[in-house]
């Protein structure tokens, strides 16, 4: 059965900030500290599905 | 004297891309973080940066110091990383005396002689180039030699060792073979390429459009459909781009057609009915090869458009411009990009100038009409 999640409580931005209290300001650090490292292929490659790969 | 930085930076939409020369990796950073990165790289102390950040964000100094220290460690890791070479040294390997298969391939006016030790080596290369095969002739420009010894595939050109690859890294051997081939065809060295992209390149004779997408999304099928509708196949699976003119260069290999595309393509290409079928058991794939319709393998054309293409059964046509940063995230891990600093800068500038789109389709005609609009700048 599909799980139903019902939001019974509307939380204003003000209340939310109050709830997380002093921790809220650290979310800025988490946001700017989130980054992605992309690795290009280290050598030229054909698609792994190329001829020969299944032998 | 100012120290030459290990990093390049490029703003793309609301992010900054940083490239590390030591590791040839690309980082996608928030702009604030990129500024800290730059400061750390020009020798500004952690304390100085952390106290500025602390004031700016009204945070305790110990938190911002931790943050900046972690970034500094990341930079140090990137600077000390070295590429693991896929090549193995030529350790007193004796070339076989006899080669079971010797094939000649003609690409424009250039003839390549390729020596294959056995059927195993033949199947690594020949199916994709069979359409270029000619009868034995005495005059040939280059001799490529391929043989296996223990678990390695060895590759020589004109008796010079090029490399050896473990049998589980066959796609890197095939990549090197393809790279050497295009370098001979277009008379360029490795440093003269911006990169090689895992894509399909289609042209209308004036410009090229690159098609990208995960395996199974219908890239090659779309390419085959487009070449049956007035477009030219410049390259499939292996798309080289030159560093000077930033143009897509043609690559003469065949288009690989999976069994589940045959029903769609047989009416357009009756020759597929009787063409050889190759079974890749490990990948559970059955493939046939379709000759590209390109007549001039020396051709090269500019490219301004990148299209992520996806065939989805029963889908309405969806066509959207997509965020460049999202396209960048998908493009880079699948591509070989030149590790040379100047080339990387050119790649970043070229990428920032592209238009990036996404097409999802189930009706071939709609896809072809949309691609025609991209070519005609009718969007």
Mind listing the pLDDT tens digit for each residue in B266-301?
999 999 998 988 887 666 778 999 999 998 999 999
Q: Do B57 and A40 touch (CB under 8 A)?
A: no
> Distance, in angstroms, between B207 CA and closest chain A CA?
24
Q: Is B49 helix (H, G, I), strand (E, B) or coil?
A: helix
Reported as a single tens digit per residue, the pLDDT across A13-55 is 777 767 766 666 778 888 888 899 999 998 999 887 555 544 4
Q: Do A37 and B280 touch (CB under 8 A)?
A: no
Q: Do A26 and B196 touch (CB under 8 A)?
A: no
Q: Is B327 helix (H, G, I), strand (E, B) or coil?
A: helix
How far is residue B130's CA from residue B110's CA, in Å, rounded to a whole number?
Answer: 15
pLDDT at position A17 is 67
Please tell me if residue B33 touches chain A, with a CB cutoff of 8 Å. Answer: yes
Starting at the earlier edge strand, list the strands of the sheet with B7-12. A36-38, B25-30, B15-20, B7-12
How far is residue B370's CA from residue B357's CA, in Å, rounded to a whole number?
Answer: 11
> Distance, in angstroms, between B196 CA and closest chain A CA?
7
* Chain A interface, best mutation among B121, B174, B324, B338, by max A CB count within 10 A: B174
Q: Is A23 helix (H, G, I), strand (E, B) or coil?
A: helix
> Distance, in angstroms, between B143 CA and closest chain A CA?
21
How far is residue B198's CA from residue B92's CA, in Å, rounded to a whole number?
Answer: 35
Please tell me if residue B170 touches chain A, with a CB cutoff of 8 Å. Answer: yes
Reading phi first (left if > 0) and then psi (alpha if -120 to 50, else beta), residue B345 is in alpha
Q: Do B282 and A54 touch (CB under 8 A)?
A: yes
* Rounded average pLDDT over B207-214: 94
Of B67, B172, B278, the CB nearest to A51: B278
pLDDT at position A9 is 63
Residues linked to residue B147 through DSSP beta bridges, in sequence order? B154
> Distance, in angstroms, between A13 CA and closest chain B CA?
19
CA distances from B36 to A29, A32, B32, B61, B70 (A): 12, 10, 7, 15, 12
Relative to beta strand B285-290, strand B101-107 is unpaired
Please, how many CA atoms are within 13 Å of residue B149, restricted to the half-sphere of its CB?
Answer: 15
CB-CB neighbors (< 8 A) of B28 in chain A? 35-36, 38
Q: Do A35 and B285 touch (CB under 8 A)?
A: no
Single pTM value for the model: 0.89
Please tell me if residue A9 touches chain B, with a CB cutoff of 8 Å. Answer: no
pLDDT band at B4 (very low <50, low <70, confident <90, very high): low
Residues 6+ apart with CB under 8 A from B255: B200, B220, B223, B224, B227, B233, B236, B289, B290, B291, B292
pLDDT at position B257 is 92
Residues 6+ apart with CB under 8 A from B307: B209, B210, B211, B212, B356, B357, B358, B359, B371, B374
How far is residue B138's CA from residue B146's CA, in Å, rounded to a whole number?
Answer: 20
> Average pLDDT of chain B?
92
- What is the percentage of chain B residues whose pLDDT exceeds 70? 95
User: Is ipTM over 0.85?
Assistant: yes
Q: With contact defined as beta carbons under 8 Å apart, do B307 and B357 qualify?
A: yes
More confident residue, B86 or B111: B111
> Distance, in angstroms, between A7 CA and closest chain B CA?
32
Please tell me if residue B84 touches chain A, with a CB cutoff of 8 Å. Answer: yes
CB-CB neighbors (< 8 A) of A40 in chain B? 24-26, 195, 332-333, 335-337
In B108-169, alpha helices (H): 119-129
Q: Do A50 and B176 touch (CB under 8 A)?
A: no
> Distance, in angstroms, between B378 CA and closest chain A CA?
32
CB-CB neighbors (< 8 A) of B279 in chain A? 54
């Amino acid at each position: 059965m599909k799980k139903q999640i019902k939001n019974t409580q509307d939380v204003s931005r003000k209340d939310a900030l109050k709830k997380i209290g002093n921790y809220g300001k650290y979310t800025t650090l988490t946001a700017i500290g989130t980054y992605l490292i992309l690795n290009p292929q280290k050598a030229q490659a054909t698609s792994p599905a190329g001829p020969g790969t299944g032998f | 004297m100012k120290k030459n930085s290990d990093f390049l930076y490029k703003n793309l939409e609301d992010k900054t891309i940083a490239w590390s020369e030591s590791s040839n990796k690309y980082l996608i950073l928030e702009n604030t973080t990129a500024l800290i990165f730059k400061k750390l790289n020009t020798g500004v102390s952690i304390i100085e940066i952390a106290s500025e950040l602390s004031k700016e964000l009204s945070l305790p100094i110990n938190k911002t110091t931790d943050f900046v220290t972690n970034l500094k460690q990341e930079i140090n890791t990137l600077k000390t990383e070295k590429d693991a070479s896929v090549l193995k040294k030529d350790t007193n390997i004796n070339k076989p005396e006899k080669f079971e298969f010797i094939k000649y391939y003609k690409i424009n006016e250039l003839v390549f002689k390729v020596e294959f030790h056995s059927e195993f080596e033949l199947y690594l290369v020949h199916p994709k180039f069979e359409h270029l095969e000619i009868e034995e002739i005495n005059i040939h420009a280059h001799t490529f030699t391929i043989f296996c010894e223990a678990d390695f595939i060895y590759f020589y050109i004109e008796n010079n060792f090029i490399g050896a690859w473990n049998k589980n890294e066959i796609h890197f051997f095939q990549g090197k073979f393809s790279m050497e081939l295009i370098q001979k065809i277009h008379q360029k060295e490795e440093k003269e390429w911006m990169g090689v992209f895992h894509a399909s390149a289609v042209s209308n004779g004036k410009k090229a459009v690159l098609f990208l997408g995960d395996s199974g999304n219908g890239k090659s099928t779309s390419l085959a459909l487009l070449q049956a509708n007035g477009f030219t196949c410049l390259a499939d699976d292996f798309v080289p781009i030159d560093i000077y003119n930033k143009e897509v260069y043609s690559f003469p290999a065949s288009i690989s057609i999976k069994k589940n595309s045959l029903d769609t393509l047989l009416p357009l290409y009756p020759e597929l009915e009787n063409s050889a079928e190759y079974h890749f058991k490990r990948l559970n794939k059955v493939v046939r090869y379709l000759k590209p319709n390109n007549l001039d393998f020396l051709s090269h054309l500019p490219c301004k458009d990148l299209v992520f293409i996806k065939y989805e059964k029963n889908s309405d046509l969806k066509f959207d411009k997509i965020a460049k940063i999202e396209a960048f995230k998908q493009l880079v891990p699948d591509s070989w990009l030149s590790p040379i600093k100047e080339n990387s800068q050119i790649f970043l500038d070229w990428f920032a100038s592209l238009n990036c789109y996404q097409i999802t389709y189930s009706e071939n005609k709609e896809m072809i009409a949309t691609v025609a609009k991209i070519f005609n700048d009718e969007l």
